Chain A
Amino acid sequence: MAIIEVKNVTKTFGEKVALDNVSLEIPEGKIFGLLGPNGAGKSTLIRIINRITIASEGQILFQGHPISEQDVARIGYLPEERGLYRKMKVGDQAMYLAQLKGMSARDAAVELKKWFVRFDIADWWNKKVEELSKGMAQKVQFITTVVHRPSLMILDEPFSGFDPVNVDLIRKEILRLKDEGATVILSTHNMESVEELCENIALINHGKLVVTGGTDEIRRMHGEDNVEIEYTDNTLARRAIVVARPDVNAKLTELIGQGVTINSFKEVIPRMNDIFIKLVKGEEE
């Protein structure tokens, strides 16, 4: 079932069309990659799902009904351009944001303390934000996004600004939250993390939906339908050849006839990165 259905959404700013009749479905309990070059309209779509801006046409369904204010309270949003009040204490600020999401002060305090311990930042509670490094502030922001146990999390470039250790920490938390049943919309330019985390994706360019569907299907769909055969030949050298699918059987028979050892046999799936570039460039041509 889809937690979010985007139905024929169009958004115009004066003359400019930011989103042009976009429709897509975001399946519940999965991680959904929202891809597209800068200025494609991703942020506008995210803001419309969040009800920060209102679509000019079309609508957003949340679990089957038009999205309302109560639903927005079940969303956790980490914007790409994010910040905190510089002069405010970390703890006060996290409490404030959690309460705005509808948590009671008591629940917010309990849950936040847990997260602060988990992220090993418990002793920052009384520090001012301006004393924190960028990475530290990012951790606080991530916590405030997820503390109210949202059923949908919208994370816009969640890994930017983190060192590899913390990227790994955040990645594991995202997976853990997914396992607990949350849906995640991940907007990122990091194609490796898309391949690794996202089961479904949508690619938007110039305000239009280019492609949406399961990540594996899309990769296959855009493959050349080749197979890579790796074998060890008679001289004990390891070799790999790429063969178009119609010729596979013939080639295999030939190789086996030569007496080589087949080590592996796998479909060649293009990298997400290549598909992204191909599709975006293809759009422009």
Chain B
Amino acid sequence: MMNFKKLGIIIEREYLNKVKKKSFLLITFLAPILFAAICILPTVIMMGTKEEAKKVGVIDRSGIVLPYLEDNDVTDYIDLGPDAIADSLKSNLKATGIDVLLSISELDAESRSVKADCYSEKPLGMDTGSMIEDRINDAVEAYRIEQSGVENLEEIMAGVKSNVKLRSYTIDESGKETISESGIYMALSMILGMAIYMFIALFSGMVMSSVIEEKSSRVVEVLVSSVKASELLFGKIIGVALVAITQFLLWILLTGMLLGVAMGIIGKDKIMGLMSDDPTTEMVQQMSPDVNLPGQITLEDSLKAVTDTTSVSAGEPSGMEVIMSTIGNINLAEIGIAFLFFFIFGYLLYASLFAAIGSAVENEGDSSQLQLPITIPLMLGFFVALYAFKAPDSQLVFWFSMIPFTSPIVMLARIPFSVPMWQLVLSIVLLIGTFVACAWASAKIYKVGILMYGKKSTFKDLWKWLKMK
């Protein structure tokens, strides 16, 4: 039986030793700044760096485009006349006081189109470029409509144009409909898969380093004369697990605090508004101008949208409402619990395997070859998880979310798309069973390995140690 008092002492040392390290403090406090920055930076950039309108000099030899080029926030158009010579101007942009030179060819009678070239010293922003392009296309379309000679074609065309947007709802057992945005599920799936992969790799690696440190410093022989090797091993694994949980909680807490402070300074509405800055929002705005602009939506409104299902049917929901509704529709408690379970058992499984590898080597450099068979399933799980959103219920993804070595990562990536309870339970049971078997085997290898010095160990040696009495 384990001596729990000694186990406690081992866990305590392992924990304090890691938590007091400079690198731990650095990562713990820097990462939330990074997380918060990712959330806030777009707002700050948008707020602080409104670009001055670019002066676009236009040489319009076609005679049809110029009327469509209207000045706006980003561009001021200056007519240089159809006879201006592009070659001489473009070599001397600065002196002429324009930022961009737009040269439009004469109308090509056959294709009924124009060629457009753009010259500037700095590359055009994507938005500016596509806006100019849109205007030119508008001009050409209008010209063609006029040329067709069909009466009222413009109105007909406008009537024909369609802009259907697929809006998806998820229906729960009680038949309650909630609007959902598949992009959110996709992002969540990838984030969860990546996060759990990172956590497992990071903290199992930490266990391995700790095993190697004790072996190479030769402190281990004194330790195992006081405690059982298995106590030492599991004390270490549990100690590092507590480090992981501490770090995780601190990240959540600190990120929350930083965001809170930032919202206080910049204003939460602006941040909330910009978070929803995606194409959906723009489209919704264009289609239904009477709907609240995201920037004006308060947090309370958005939350109401989540809880109040009637708001779904009431008119066009804004992008922000869709996102908030989607997030509200996701069972955060289920994800949280699943994350905890799969992280803990995935970590335990990999940590015990990495510990066995660590016990067989005397320095980290020697471990890479022995690590390979463990790293491969871990990486495989990671890659499958990254693409799981494409077909969360496919055969491949299903099996990878059942096989214990990849299941913690792949299952987490599947969870946002909701997984039947029996699958979750089966996956966890398989994972726990595998962990128990691997922990038993690892403890045996570890017990022998930590006292083996001299020659480089191979898998054959590990197998031999496993079979030893």
> Which residues of A are at the interface with B, using a C-beta cutoff of 8 A?
13-14, 47, 50-54, 56, 69, 72-73, 75, 77-79, 81-88, 96-97, 99-102, 141, 144-145
Q: Which of B3, B17, B219, B468 contacts A84 (CB 8 A)?
A: B219
Q: A82: which B residues are within 8 A, CB to CB?
A: 218-219, 221-222
Contact, CB under 8 Å: B9 / A96: yes
A81 to B450, CA, bound (A): 13
Question: Can you list, as one digit per residue, whether each of B6-20 has a CB less than 8 Å from chain A (1) or not (0)?
Answer: 100110010001000
Pick the contact of B221 from A79, A85, A88 — CB < 8 Å?
Answer: A79
Is B341's CB within 8 Å of the partner chain A?
no
Distance in Å: Cβ of B250 to nearest Cβ of chain A: 22
- Closest residue of chain A to B232 (Cβ to Cβ) is A100
In the complex, are the beta carbons of A85 and B219 less than 8 A apart? Answer: yes
Q: How far is the CA of A167 from the CA of B110 in the complex (A)?
A: 104
Q: Are A83 and B225 interface neighbours, CB within 8 A?
A: no
Residues of B near A96 (CB, < 8 A) are 9, 13
Q: Which residue of B lies closest to A56 (CB)?
A: B469
In the complex, the answer to whether A97 meets B221 with C-beta atoms within 8 Å is no
17 further A-B contacts with Cβ under 8 Å, apart from A78-B222, A87-B17, are A14-B464, A51-B225, A52-B225, A54-B469, A69-B228, A75-B225, A77-B221, A79-B221, A85-B213, A85-B217, A85-B219, A96-B9, A97-B223, A97-B226, A100-B6, A100-B223, A101-B226
| Given A72-B225, A96-B9: A81 touches B17 (CB 8 Å cut-off) | no
Chain B residue, CB-CB nearest to A129: B217
Query: Is B227 an interface residue, CB under 8 A from the partner?
Result: yes
Question: Are B218 and A100 touching (Cβ within 8 A)?
Answer: no
CB contacts between A and B, total, < 8 Å: 63
Q: A52 and B221 in contact (CB under 8 A), knowing A85-B213, A88-B17, A100-B227?
A: yes
Cβ-closest chain B residue relative to A97: B222
Contact among A14, A47, A79 for B218, CB-based, below 8 A? A79
Does B451 interact with chain A (Cβ within 8 Å)? yes
Name the residue of chain B whose CB is nearest to the CB of A79. Answer: B221
| Distance in angstroms between the alpha carbons of A79 and B221 in the assembled complex | 7
The docked-state distance in angstroms from the alpha carbon of A72 to that of B226 is: 7
Contacts of B223 in A (CB 8 A): 97, 100
Cβ of A268 to closest chain B Cβ, rounded Å: 41
CB distance B451 to A47 under 8 Å? yes
- The answer to whether B451 touches A100, judged by C-beta atoms less than 8 angstroms apart, is no
Q: Point out the residues of chain A lying under 8 angstroms from B469, CB to CB.
A: 54, 56
Determine which residue in B9, B221, B226 has the highest number of CB atoms from chain A within 10 A of its CB, and name it.
B226
CA–CA, A102 and B225, complex, Å: 12
Cβ contact within 8 Å between A81 and B227: no
Q: Judge whether A100 and B9 touch: CB under 8 Å.
A: yes
Q: Which of A52, A84, A86, A144 contacts B451 (CB 8 A)?
A: A52
* Complex-state Cα separation, A96 to B226, whole angstroms: 11
Of all chain A residues, which has the CB nearest B452?
A13
List the B side residues contacting A83 at CB < 8 Å: 217-219
Query: Shortest CB–CB separation between residue A34 and chain B, in angstroms?
Result: 16
A251 to B227, CA, bound (A): 63
User: Which B residue sits closest to A51, measured CB to CB?
Assistant: B225
Nearest A residue to B220 via CB reads: A83
Residues of B within 8 A of A84 (CB): 217, 219
Q: Is the CB of A77 within 8 A of B222?
A: yes
Complex Cα gap A86–B212 (Å): 13
Across the interface, B225 reaches (CB within 8 A) one of A14, A77, A86, namely A77
Report whether B222 and A79 are in contact in the complex, using a CB–CB cutoff of 8 Å. Answer: yes
A224 to B217, CA, bound (A): 47
Enumerate chain A residues within 8 angstroms of B6, measured Cβ to Cβ. 100, 102
Say if the beta carbon of B224 comes within 8 Å of chain A.
yes
9 A-B pairs with the lowest CB-CB distances in the bound complex, closest first: A83-B218, A100-B226, A83-B217, A77-B225, A79-B221, A50-B225, A81-B218, A83-B219, A99-B9
Determine whether B453 belongs to the interface, using a CB cutoff of 8 Å to chain A.
Answer: yes
A-B contact pairs, 21 of them (CB 8 A): A13-B468, A50-B225, A52-B225, A53-B451, A77-B222, A79-B222, A82-B221, A83-B217, A83-B219, A85-B217, A86-B217, A87-B17, A96-B9, A96-B13, A99-B9, A100-B6, A100-B226, A100-B227, A141-B222, A144-B222, A145-B222
| B464 / chain A contacts, CB cutoff of 8 Å | 14
- Give the distance to chain A from B22, nearest Cβ to Cβ, in Å: 11
How far apart sit A230 and B254, CA to CA, in the bound complex (Å)?
A: 88
B29 to chain A, nearest CB (A): 21
Q: In the complex, A275→B217 CA distance in Å?
A: 36
Known A14-B464, A52-B451; judge A69-B3 contact (CB<8 A): yes
**CB-nearest residue of chain A relative to B3?**
A69
Q: Which residues of B have CB within 8 Å of A79?
A: 218, 221-222, 225
Bound complex: CA A229 to CA B369 (Å): 69
In the bound complex, what is the Cα–Cα distance between A99 and B221 (angstroms)? Answer: 16
Report chain A residues within 8 Å CB of B226.
72-73, 97, 100-101
Chain B residues, CB < 8 A from A54:
469
Chain B residues near A51 (CB-CB < 8 A): 225
Nearest residue, chain B, Cβ from A130: B217
Nearest A residue to B224, CB-CB: A52
**In the bound complex, CA of A159 to CA of B464 (Å):** 35
Distance of A83 Cα from B221 Cα, bound (Å): 9
Across the two chains, which residue of chain B brings its CB closest to A145? B222
The smallest beta-carbon distance between B137 and chain A, in angstroms, is: 66
**Chain B positions within 8 Å of A13 at CB level:** 468
